[in-house]
Amino acid sequence: MFPLKPGHLPQTTVQNVVFFCRPRLALMELIAENVLKEEAGAGSKKEFHVFFVPRKTLLCERKLKELGVYGTFATIDDYSLEMYPYDSDLLSMEMEDSFKDCTLYEDYTSLYDCAKALMTVQALYGVIPYIHGKGQHAKHVCDMVLRMRLELGGTEVQIVPQIDSLLLLDRSVDLLTPLATQLTYEGLIDEIFGINHTIVQLPPEKFASSSEAQGGASAFSTELRKIVLNSGEELYAEIRDKNFNAVGQVLSRKAKAISAQFEERHGAKTVGEIKKFVSKLPYIQAAKESLGNHTSIAELVKEVTDSSEFVGCLHTQQEFMNGVDTDKVHPYVEDCISKQDPLTKVLRLLCMQCAANNGFKPKVMEFYKQEIIQTYGFQHAITLNNLEKAGLLRVQGNKTYPALRKGLRLIVEDVSEQNPTDASYVYSGYAPVTVRLAQFLARPGQGWRSVENVMDLIPGPKIEVAQEIPAGLKKKRSSVSSLQSDEEKKLMLVFFLGGVTYAEIAALRFLSHQDDSTTEYIIATTKIINGDSWLNSLMEPMQLVPIAEMQ
């Protein structure tokens, strides 16, 4: 397995070469180059195959024909891998450009893929009886799903529905949340180091102690250390969704527990007791290593969160979320620009201020724009234009954020970070609109009716559809026992179109685990994002060609 690269294919003696790729035109050129170079070289003839994930497109096939390599392939087909399971409750489609394509270019190909994926989900787990949603793109996906069901024309598999409802959320309904710095453990790891396909790469220095046993040489390795993060690891499952301020406690408690377990060996007297202890050793070892890793990661994270830049930035963010001083040029942002802090940081703050203020006054907007162009360079004019098209930067419209903040209780003053009682702990006192929507929807007997007036403040149409299900396939709910047995929770699939943050995921998991919760959430998304990766996807990729000729 090799990553697709321009130039020659790696030297191998294999007979068959299989390409797996997204149906993107630029990739076709790489593949064609690979194939042509291989064909030109002497030696044994190889057979080529190409599989498009999740489906082949006419455009790509045409491109291959144009490049004169179409006939060379023995197979050209689909590999319909639509969703990647990242955890037991988390699916990602890994389409990082979905939000960009939809909002900047009105290219809804990715939404079609989402609808297809939802059809796959329904084919496997039964037709989902209720679809709710909010936002333009959510509506589009919902319409396509309903249409595709019609296209199936009664040939769908008859399965008792295992998912009770689907909530389609468009990222455009909540542009503010991803911009804020996530304050859960996992969220912070992502913000600071970036989690890619559940893997984080960290500077190795902090981990040197754990590899001491292997000798000095490895302790000084400069290679980044890769750590896989998922709920399979017991400790990580416990702390990943906690507010970072609560992680330290857990880690020290665990450390004590492990050393206590280790101390048991002194108490073991009989052969039986020793045997029992030895049998536990691998578990203790694993727990110890896990604890070591996370203590190191937590230290790395803490270094950052203690810095004055981080604190200052967070402070400003919280001011914005509270709607303080959002209508004029903010001195902190101004200073950040002057100091030439990273552009993404500045843009995050700017877009956040804009979202909390429902747009800027033209004067303020122009001031910010000019500051950015003068400081970071004129080429960013295109990025600014992109952000405007995506609705992240805009001129002031109706001021709805304060009403929304109040109506959905986005700001919670005294949330406990250690033992939270509200989902807002994930941003230390701010609950994302998306999470509140899911939370209100799950209210038994009420749904969104209780927040109807607020719903209109959120952009985009509201969706409420009941899909018809054959009588025989309806979930049997014994009316008598349902009063007592609340253990049968309803399952809601929350699909974030355009991306979701780890903090939002954490908030939904928190809601699932509440004692009085009637709903269990599973999450699907086009891509897991954070403010930086999200804004980066919207920035215009530009290769600056240096000037070679002067006047």
Partner 1 sequence: MMSIIGSWSPLGLGKNVFYSKSDLYSMHWADLVDLSKVNIAAASYGGPIAIRRDDSKITKIQGSTKKVIFIFSAAGQKISQFVWNSGCVIEFSWSSTEDLLCVQDDGQVLVYDIFGTFKRVFSMGQEAKDTGIIECRFFTTSLGTGLAVLTKSYRIFVVNSVENPTIRRLAEIPGLNAPPSSWTVFNLERQTRAIVAKNADIFLLNQGGQCQDQYPAFTQAGQFITEMAVSVNNKHLALFTSSGTLWIGSSDMQTCDCEFDTKCLQRPQQLMWCGTEAVVAYWDKLLLVIGSHKEFIHYAYHEPVYLVPEVDGIRILGQTLHELLQKVPESVMDVYRIGSMAVGAILMEAAREFENGSYKADEYIRMIKDSLEEAVKQCIEAAGNIYDNTATKENQKALLRAASFGKCFAVDMNADLFVNACQLIRVLNAIRDTPVGIPLTHTQLQSLTLRVLIDRLILRRHYPLAIRICEYLKIPDCEGASRILAHWACYKVQQVNIPEEQLATAITEKLGNTAGVSYAEIANKASDCGRTQLAIRLLDHEPRASEQVPLLMKINRDDVALTKAIESGDTDLVYTVILRLKQTLKTGEFLMSITRIPVAYSLYLQLCRQQNRELLMDMFYQTDNFHEEAHCYIYNSYQQKSIDKRLADLQGAHDSFSKAKNDFMAKQVEDEMRLIRWQCEQERKSEKPYLDLSLQDTMTVLLKAGLNKQAEELRKDFKVPDKRFWWIKIMALADTGNWQELDKFSKSKKSPIGYEPFAEVCLKHQNVSEARNKYIPRISSENKVKFLVKLGLLEDAAEVAFQQKRDEELQYVLAHCSPLKPNLVAKINSLRSQLTAKK
Nearest CB to partner 1, comparing residues 87 and 97? 97
Residue 472 touches partner 1, criterion: CB under 8 A: no
Q: Which is nearer to partner 1, 138 or 239 (CB)?
A: 138
By C-beta, is 140 or 436 nearer to partner 1? 140
Min CB(380)–partner 1 separation in Å: 9
User: In the complex with partner 1, which residue's Cβ is closer, 43 or 153?
Assistant: 153
Q: Please choose, out of 67-75, 171-179, 216-224, 539-547, the segment that lies near partner 1 by the rule CB under 8 A.
A: 539-547
377 lies in the binding site for partner 1 (CB under 8 A)? yes
Q: Which of the ranges 109-117, 167-175, 266-274, 487-495 carries the binding residues for partner 1, by CB under 8 A?
A: 109-117
Of residues 77 through 106, those in contact with partner 1 by CB under 8 A are: 101, 105-106
- Give the nearer residue to partner 1 in terms of CB position, either 74 or 382: 382
- Which tokens in the block code for residue 474? 């309806």
187-191: long-range contacts, CB 8 A cutoff, minimum separation 24:
187/426, 187/501, 187/502, 187/503, 187/506, 187/530, 188/244, 188/301, 188/304, 188/305, 189/229, 189/297, 189/301, 190/501, 190/502, 190/528, 190/530, 191/530, 191/531, 191/532
Q: Which of residues 292-351 bind partner 1 (CB under 8 A)?
A: 308, 334-335, 337-340
One of 11, 13, 44, 155 touching partner 1 (CB under 8 A): 155
Q: How many CB atoms lie within 10 A of CB 106?
A: 8
If one asks whether residue 271 binds partner 1 (CB under 8 A), the answer comes out as no
**Chosen residue from 80, 109, 198, 230 binding partner 1 by CB under 8 A:** 109
Which ranges in 307-432 belong to alpha helices (H)?
Answer: 308-321, 331-338, 343-356, 362-376, 380-389, 401-407
Residue 501 has which token pair? 């943050």
Question: Is-contact 54 64, C-beta < 8 A?
Answer: no
Q: What angle do CA 117, 458, 430 make, to 5 degrees?
A: 90
By CB under 8 A, residue 414 contacts partner 1:
no
**Interatomic CA distance for residues 392 and 375, integer angstroms:** 20
* Count of chain residues binding partner 1 (CB under 8 A): 58
What span, in angstroms and rounded, lies between the C-alpha atoms of 341 and 344? 9
Smallest separation, CB 217 to partner 1 (Å)? 33
Q: Measuring CA to CA, how many Å separate 136 from each of 171, 202, 352?
A: 10, 39, 21
Does 374 bind partner 1 (CB under 8 A)? Our answer is: yes
Contacting residue, 369, 394, 405, 527, with partner 1 by CB under 8 A: 369
Length reported for the chain: 551
**How many Å separate Cα 465 from the centre of its chain?**
26
Q: What single DSSP character describes residue 457?
A: T
Report the nearest approach of partner 1 to the CB of residue 321 (Å). Answer: 23
In the complex, the residues that contact partner 1 under the rule CB under 8 A are 24-26, 55, 57-59, 62, 101, 105-109, 111-112, 115, 140, 143-144, 147, 150-151, 153-155, 308, 334-335, 337-340, 366, 369-371, 373-379, 381-382, 385, 540, 542-551
